[in-house]
Amino acid sequence: MLSHLFLGLSLIGAEWVLYLLLILSVYSITLIVERALFYHDASRGIQDFRKKLRETAASGQISQLGPIADARLKERKGKSPDLETEMASAMLAHGKGSPAILLEVAQDAVLRTRLQWEKNLSVLATIGSNAPFVGLFGTVLGIIKAFHDLSQQSATGAATVTSGISEALVATAIGLLVAIPAAIAFNLYQRRVKTALSEAESLKSFLVGKLQA
């Protein structure tokens, strides 16, 4: 009884799986583009900002660091945030203090911004790792339907099976096509987040050292 129920569901075929994969593909591409634009905007001018802070500190003008950070923070208002501007502004606003307090102030700013940097990356990872299985599921449904059609029309011979299987295999191919860009984008963006965090850690250590000097 239960096997007949599942067979009936399987005979719907793989077409609905293809529609699901199409939706996942559109969603994945949307996220990939959105994240690319976010990181591009967030990284704009950050190298010049780092360089200006370091050069100003190296020249001994510690009192000028705060206005530099605040100016960039004001300039970036309403735009994609980087991991360093708000951190630097918060640390410099706090002024000289114990390293532990300065590190806590910096960590608070970085963690809040990090949430925005990692937004939707888990969705890309999920699509990248599971789309092939969705496609494989569609292929299995298509093969079941092909063999069922063969049992109902035995006179048509192997042509029914080969035609049905070839159509079913399309689902696996589409699943891979959806998964590969999502997996690549996830790995690239995750690497970008890690690099940005490393840069933020470097600047944080630099500022703590300068504020303690």
Q: What is the model's pLDDT at position 9? A: 61
Predicted confidence (pLDDT) per residue in 161-207, tens digit: 666 677 778 889 999 999 999 999 999 999 999 999 999 999 999 99
Domain count, the chain: 1
CA dist 112 and 106 (Å) reads: 10
Report CA dihedral (125, 127, 130, 133) to the nearest 10 degrees. -150
The pLDDT > 90 percentage for the chain reads 62
Q: Decide which of 152 and 8 is more confident.
A: 152
Q: Decide which of 210 and 95 is more confident.
A: 210
Domain ranges, residue 74: 2-212
Per the CB < 8 A criterion, the answer to whether 136 and 173 are in contact is no
Residue 172 one-letter amino acid? T
The encoded tokens of residue 111 equal: 């963690």
